[in-house]
């Protein structure tokens, strides 16, 4: 019988040992390939007790302690996506032995390590991962990466070359990690009110890999990074730090938070699979992490990555998607998923964004020629229509911004547009995308994207004007980098409500409360406008950060416009409840919040909303606006 072909998840270009480089006497400057011109975002120094600590012994108890700890686990996943675990029943003596074996492993002579180095066609072994080009910047670290479970995925020859004591200890460690991961996943299933058997079926024979990390002292720690910011592509990552040198940081609320592991505790973070896989955990908070380096101390850690079984198909549970709840991510076999992941340069949450279904991708034919839809009205050659009408760009320089207006006007409908925002240092700039009528008593429905310095998050500013009056601002951070890929920004406007959506996730709802005396835009047709302009007097940190014109021109990109909307004329009424001619998304006429959309809205508003006019009591000392007493969202 023919044997099953060996699975190879990917390769990475061969790079030199950083550990050997750091040993060079008199090293005061790092080579240019390791020098990274990133801007370190502001660190938030917190007491180690702030990061949640989950007691597995309490979770295993069949009493009120278990319920309390289960709620704590759910909150940790929702607010941090990151926590430490204690009382895990892995003995201190075993962890001490494992620690010693890893330290000894990295102290092997270089000639011995070379026998365990990566091969050109496979990324397992000593080296670095995700190196896809010869000029790519490198991390200041060495790692040893190996697939450990299931047994049929192991590279047997690589395992046999490991020192005997390490190999035996690693065998026991990977089984302990499987037991630990399955236990954590079972508790997560309870927290999600999921069928525990369904979770076990997906993960019981899951793919496990281990990455041993060595971060040497670095003579220029402010210009190097130990591990590039990223989110993990697995379901769970379990990290064991071997010494006390700090370096691990997680990104929370746009700031990097240092993690100080407790002695013999494990640091756990949830990975991308938990967001778009069968568990559908999008209400949980998936964080980016990175590793920084130290000028005088080495740092060692071991990360265990646990995923679903090899023959599983990743994607949301089919039972929860439908016409009103479209899938947000592609369905893909796990093997293909990992091969695509390892073939890319590591960069934030870019792979998760790649897996996301952007509205309009499957309806490119509907987008048509943007030149037929819009007039470029200002900015001269700073506004351009390219690629046969499939791409539109707006640019800003010190002389002028630019903008466009739709040829048609609409009274109710669904407007979708994919945007990729200005990358890099966009502080002081505003990219506006909005519906508006004409005249002093105009109605308006606004998306505005407020630029920021490199490494800091964009702010999405929303507003609703009725009869010339606005002052209904809500602001949000986004859960992805809007400059890396195109994302879909939608306005659903019907006689009942206005909904703001990002990649089909609602972030804000403004309900028609006219019966209580709250004006609602339902009589004036509006055109779609977009522009990019300089607003450094207020846009970034209230005007404290000014536009850096050395980065100009600042350019935003647009594609895949679709308007499923009523175009008013003398012969037709847009107030009718009849079915529109377009049937692609006829549901816009009555679209509201189903239970899943409501859950997504709560998630966004709990973890990403940074300003809500309805809660600004200093601004409204005489009492909140009338709609704030009525509106739940």
* Residue 256 to residue 250: CA distance in whole angstroms: 5
Does the pLDDT of residue 581 top 60, yes or no? no
Asked if the model's pLDDT at residue 365 lies above 50, the reply is: no
375 plus 336 within the same structural domain: no
DSSP 3-state percent helix, strand, coil across the chain (nearest 5)? 25, 30, 45
What is the mean predicted confidence (pLDDT) over 608-630? 88
* Confidence check: pLDDT of 39 > 70: no
State the Cα–Cα distance between residues 558 and 486, nearest whole angstrom: 8
Active site includes 448? yes
Looking at the chain, the whole-number percentage of residues with pLDDT higher than 90 is 54
Residue 507 near residue 406, CB atoms below 8 Å:
no
Per-residue pLDDT of 403-438, as tens digits, reads 999 999 999 999 999 999 999 999 999 999 999 998
End-to-end CA distance of the chain: 62
Whether residue 91 sits in one domain with residue 227: yes
Residue 541 confidence (pLDDT): 82
- CA–CA separation, 214 vs 299, rounded Å? 6
Q: At what angle do helices 164-192 and 64-79 cross, to 10 degrees?
A: 100
Q: With helix as H, strand as E and coil as C, how does 92-103 read? A: HHHHHHHHHHHH
Does residue 536 share a domain with residue 417?
Answer: yes
- Whether 530 shows a pLDDT value over 70: the answer reads yes
d(CA 439, CA 391) in angstroms, rounded, equals: 30
| Tens-digit pLDDT profile for residues 253-292 | 667 889 988 999 999 999 888 866 544 455 565 678 899 9
Structure tokens at 633: 């969202």
Do 300 and 412 sit in the same domain of this protein? no
Please compute the mean of the pLDDT values over residues 193-199 and round it to a whole number. 74
Q: Which of 124, 275, 448, 627 is catalytic?
A: 448
The pLDDT of 529-539, averaged and rounded, is 92
Whether residues 71 and 33 fall in one domain:
yes
Give the pair of three-digit tokens for residue 156.
Answer: 């047997």
Identify the H or E element spanning 53: strand 53-55
Residues 342 and 401 in one domain: no
* Statement: the pTM of the whole predicted model exceeds 0.75: no
What is the residue range of 186's domain? 18-355
Q: Which domain-ending residue is among 317, 340, 355?
A: 355
Domain count, the chain: 2
Final residue before a domain boundary, out of 304, 339, 355: 355
Question: Does residue 585 have a pLDDT over 70?
Answer: no
Q: List pLDDT tens digits, range 376-393.
A: 999 989 999 998 888 999
Whether 559 shows a pLDDT value over 60: the answer reads yes
CA-CA distances (angstroms) from residue 227 to 298, 480, 530, 617? 14, 19, 38, 43
Q: Residue 1: inside a domain, yes or no?
A: no
Is there a single domain that holds both residue 167 and residue 200? yes
Does residue 484 surpass a pLDDT of 50? yes
Task: Decide which of 179 and 589 is more confident.
Answer: 179
Backbone angles phi, psi at 309, to 5 degrees: -70, 155
Residue 208 within any structural domain of the chain: yes
Instruction: Give the tens place of pLDDT for each residue, 140-188.
Output: 999 999 999 999 999 999 999 999 999 999 999 999 999 999 999 999 8
Whether 10 is in a domain gets the answer no
Confirm whether 454 is domain-assigned.
yes
In a domain, 8, yes or no: no
Q: Classify residue 3: in a domain, yes or no.
A: no
Alpha-carbon distance 154 to 7, whole Å? Answer: 9
* Residue 274 pLDDT: 80
No. of helices (H) and no. of strands (E), the chain: 14, 29
- pLDDT bracket for residue 351 (50, 70, 90): low
With H, G, I as helix, E, B as strand and everything else as coil, classify residue 542: helix
Choice among 62-76, 199-213, 547-561 with the minimum mean pLDDT:
62-76
Decide if 444 is catalytic: yes
Q: Are 451 and 441 in contact (CB under 8 A)?
A: no
Reduce the DSSP state of residue 559 to 3 states and report it: strand
**Structure token digits, residue 378:** 């200002």
Q: What's the pLDDT band for 631 if we cut at 50, 70, 90?
A: low
* Residue 5 falls inside a structural domain: no
Task: Report the range of poorest mean pLDDT among 53-57, 427-431, 433-437, 570-574.
Answer: 570-574
The pLDDT of residue 8 is 82
10 Å Cβ neighbour count for 276?
25
Say if residues 270 and 284 touch (Cβ distance below 8 Å): yes
pLDDT averaged over the chain? 85
d(CA 295, CA 602): 43
The CA distance from 489 to 433, in Å, is 9
pLDDT category of residue 590 using cuts at 50, 70 and 90: confident
pLDDT attached to residue 38: 55
* Low-confidence winner among 204-213, 271-280, 536-545 (lowest mean pLDDT): 271-280
Tokens, residue 417: 């547009």
Q: What is the DSSP string of 2-13?
A: PPPPPP------
pLDDT confidence of 633, banded at 50, 70, 90? low
Domain co-membership, 351 together with 378 = no
* CB within 8 Å of 272: residues ≥ 6 apart: 231, 232, 233, 234, 286, 349, 351, 352, 355
Tell me, what's the pLDDT at 357? 60
Beta strands in 472-553 (DSSP E): 474-476, 487-493, 497-502, 505-511, 526-534
Task: Give the least confident one: 205-209, 237-241, 524-528, 603-607.
Answer: 603-607
Find which of 24-28, 48-52, 105-109, 227-231 is predicted with most confidence, using mean pLDDT: 105-109
Assess whether pLDDT exceeds 60 at residue 575.
no
Decide: 188 and 283 in contact? Cβ < 8 Å: no
Say what the pLDDT of residue 324 is.
Answer: 47
Q: Looking at 355, 379, 414, which one is the last position of a domain?
A: 355
Determine which one of 444, 456, 473, 627 is catalytic: 444
Q: Do 365 and 349 sit in the same domain of this protein?
A: no
Which CATH number fits the domain that encloses residue 555?
2.60.120.200
Do 504 and 544 lie in one domain? The reply is yes
pLDDT of residue 323: 47
Pairing of strands 413-420, 487-493: antiparallel
Whether residue 450 sits in one domain with residue 351: no
Q: Assign 3-class secondary structure to 379-397.
A: CHHHEEEEHHHCEEEEEEC
Whether the per-residue pLDDT at 40 is higher than 70: the answer is no
The predicted-structure confidence for 104-126, as pLDDT tens digits, reads as follows 999 999 999 999 999 999 999 99
CATH of the domain at 78: 2.60.120.330
Q: Are residues 373 and 347 in the same domain?
A: no
pLDDT confidence tier of residue 481, bands split at 50, 70 and 90: confident
Q: 480 pLDDT exceeds 50? A: yes
Map residue 553 onto helix, strand or coil. Answer: coil
Residue 256 within a domain: yes
């Amino acid at each position: 019988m023919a044997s099953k072909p060996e699975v190879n998840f990917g390769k990475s270009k061969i790079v030199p040992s950083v550990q050997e480089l750091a040993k060079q006497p008199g090293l005061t400057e790092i080579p240019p390939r390791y020098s990274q011109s990133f801007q370190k975002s502001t660190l938030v120094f917190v007491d180690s007790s702030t990061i949640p600590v989950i007691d597995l012994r309490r979770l295993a108890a069949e009493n009120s302690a278990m319920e309390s700890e289960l709620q704590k686990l759910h909150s940790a996943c929702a607010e941090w996506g990151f926590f430490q675990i204690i009382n895990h029943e892995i003995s201190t003596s075993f962890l001490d032995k494992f620690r010693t074996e890893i330290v000894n492993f990295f102290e092997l002579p270089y000639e011995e390590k070379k026998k365990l180095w990566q091969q050109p066609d496979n990324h397992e072994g000593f080296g670095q991962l995700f190196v896809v080009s010869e000029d790519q910047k490198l991390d200041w670290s060495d790692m040893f990466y190996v697939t450990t479970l299931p047994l049929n995925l192991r590279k047997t020859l690589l395992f046999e070359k490991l020192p005997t004591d390490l190999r035996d200890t690693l065998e026991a460690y990977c089984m302990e990690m499987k037991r630990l991961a399955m236990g954590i996943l079972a508790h997560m299933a309870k927290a999600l009110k999921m069928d525990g058997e369904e979770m076990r079926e997906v993960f019981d024979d899951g793919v496990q890999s281990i990455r041993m990390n060595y971060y040497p002292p670095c003579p220029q720690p402010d210009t190097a990074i130990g591990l590039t910011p990223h989110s993990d592509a697995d379901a769970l990552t379990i990290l064991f730090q071997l010494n006390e040198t700090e370096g691990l940081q997680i990104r929370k609320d746009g700031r990097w938070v240092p993690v100080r592991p407790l002695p013999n505790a494990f640091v756990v973070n949830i990975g991308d699979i938990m967001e778009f896989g069968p568990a559908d955990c999008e209400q949980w908070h998936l964080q980016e992490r990175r590793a920084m380096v130290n000028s005088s101390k080495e740092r060692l850690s071991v990360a265990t990555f646990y995923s679903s079984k090899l023959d599983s198909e990743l994607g949301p549970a089919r039972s929860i998607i439908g016409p009103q709840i479209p899938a947000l991510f592609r369905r893909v076999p796990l093997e293909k998923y990992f091969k695509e992941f390892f073939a890319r340069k590591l960069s934030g949450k870019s792979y998760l964004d790649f897996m996301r279904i952007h509205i309009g991708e499957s309806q490119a034919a509907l987008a048509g020629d943007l030149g037929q839809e819009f007039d470029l009205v200002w900015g001269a050659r700073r506004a351009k229509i390219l690629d046969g009408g499939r791409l539109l760009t707006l640019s800003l320089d010190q002389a002028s911004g630019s903008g466009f207006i739709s040829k048609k006007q609409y009274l109710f409908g669904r407007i979708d547009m994919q945007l990729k925002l200005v990358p890099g240092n966009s502080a002081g700039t505003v990219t506006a995308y909005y519906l508006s009528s004409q005249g002093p008593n105009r109605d308006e429905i606004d998306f505005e994207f407020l630029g920021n310095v490199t490494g800091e998050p964009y702010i999405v500013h929303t507003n609703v004007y009725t009869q010339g009056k606005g002052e209904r601002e809500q602001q949000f951070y986004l859960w992805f980098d809007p400059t890396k890929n195109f994302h879909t920004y939608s306005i659903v406007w019907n006689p009942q409500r206005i909904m703001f959506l990002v990649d089909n996730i609602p972030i804000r709802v403004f309900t028609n409360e006219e019966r209580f005396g709250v004006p609602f835009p339902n009589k004036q047709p509006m055109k779609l406008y977009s522009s990019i302009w300089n607003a450094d007097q207020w846009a970034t940190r209230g005007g404290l950060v000014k536009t850096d014109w050395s980065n100009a021109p600042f350019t935003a990109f647009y594609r895949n416009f679709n308007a499923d909307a009523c175009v008013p004329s003398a012969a037709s009424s847009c107030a009718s409840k009849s079915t529109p001619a377009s049937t692609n998304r006829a549901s816009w006429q009555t679209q509201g919040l189903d239970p899943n959309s409501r859950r997504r809205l709560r998630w966004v508003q709990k973890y990403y909303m940074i300003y809500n006019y309805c809660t600004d009591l200093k601004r409204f000392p005489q009492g909140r606006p009338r709609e704030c007493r009525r509106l739940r969202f």
